Amino acid sequence: MSKRDRGDGEPDVEIDMTPMIDCIFQLIIFFFLIIDLQNQELEPLKLPKAIHAIPDEPPPGQVRPILNVLQDGTIVWKRKKYWVPQYGEKNYAELKGLLLYWINAKIMNKKMDPVLKRELVDDPLLIRADKWTEMHYIAKIMETCGDKDVQIWKVQLAVGEPKDKKSKKD
């Protein structure tokens, strides 16, 4: 704030808006980052790189649950564990329950299949696994998806896009 004498004795008050605008921008960036970090669906995993990966841009309005698979095979959805190694290889009941909940609560929608003439889940499921997760655990999720009560057939595997993808393709 600077004061200047206008000549009649009263000071002319001017406010420097620059620092205020800068602070607002800083706050906007800070909250943007905080919101991004609070994204509960994504666990901190290191995804493998794939040249043929397509950018993950689901169309707006499309429902797509995300399952995270940690290095020891632990399956996580929204910070809650649905399978841990202590459950044993044959006990994937909690995961099946979660998949059925998505279908019954219409989080994943069904559509009539013209060939099979019955309703099948039409929304995809994204599996995010660490690059050093054993493939066996991902196969177990696929097996549960293929269960006759569940029948989720659209599965997407999350991968990282290499930075030099364009140059490799060219």
Partner 1 sequence: MARKRKKQKEENLMNMTPMIDVTFLIIIFFLCLEFKTLEGKLNTNLPKDIGVNTSIAIPIEKLDVYITCPKGGWGKEVPDKIDPRRFEVIGHKVHWMVGPTRVDTPQELERLLRKEAERKVKDPKTLKLKTKPITINFGPGVAYQDVTTFVDIAMDAGFTEITFGGGGGTRKSRKGSSKG
Residue 132 in the binding site for partner 1 (CB under 8 A): yes
Is residue 25 a contact point for partner 1 (CB under 8 A)?
Answer: yes
Q: Which stretch binds partner 1 (CB under 8 A): 7-15, 53-61, 75-83, 99-107?
A: 53-61
> Smallest gap, in angstroms, from Cβ of residue 101 to partner 1?
19
Q: Answer yes or no: are the C-beta atoms of 103 and 149 closer than 8 Å.
A: no
Could you give the string, one character per residue 73-112, with x where binding to partner 1 holds by CB under 8 A and - elsewhere? x---------------x-----------------------
Q: How far is the CB of 18 from partner 1 (least distance, A)?
A: 5
Q: Per CB under 8 A, which region of 5-13, 76-84, 93-101, 119-127 contacts partner 1? A: 119-127
Size of site (CB under 8 A) for partner 1: 64
Q: Per residue in 84-123, is it b (16+ CB within 10 Å) or e — as a string?
A: eeebeeeebeebbebbeebbeeeebeeeeeeeeeeeebbb
Could you tell me which stretch among 7-15, 49-57, 75-83, 100-108 binds partner 1 (CB under 8 A)? 49-57
Residue 111, beta-bridge partner list: 120
AA identity, residue 88:
G
Q: Please, what is the minimum distance in Å from the beta carbon of residue 85 to partner 1?
A: 8
Run of H or E residues at 25: helix 18-37
Answer whether 126's CB lies under 8 Å from 65's CB: yes
* Contact between 33 and partner 1 per CB under 8 A: yes
Q: What is the DSSP-derived secondary structure letter of residue 125?
A: E
Between strands 11-14 and 66-69, the pairing is unpaired
As a whole number of angstroms, the distance between CA 74 and CA 92 comes to: 11
Query: Residue 162 Cβ, how far from partner 1 at the closest point, in Å?
Result: 9
Is residue 152 involved in binding partner 1 (CB under 8 A)?
A: yes
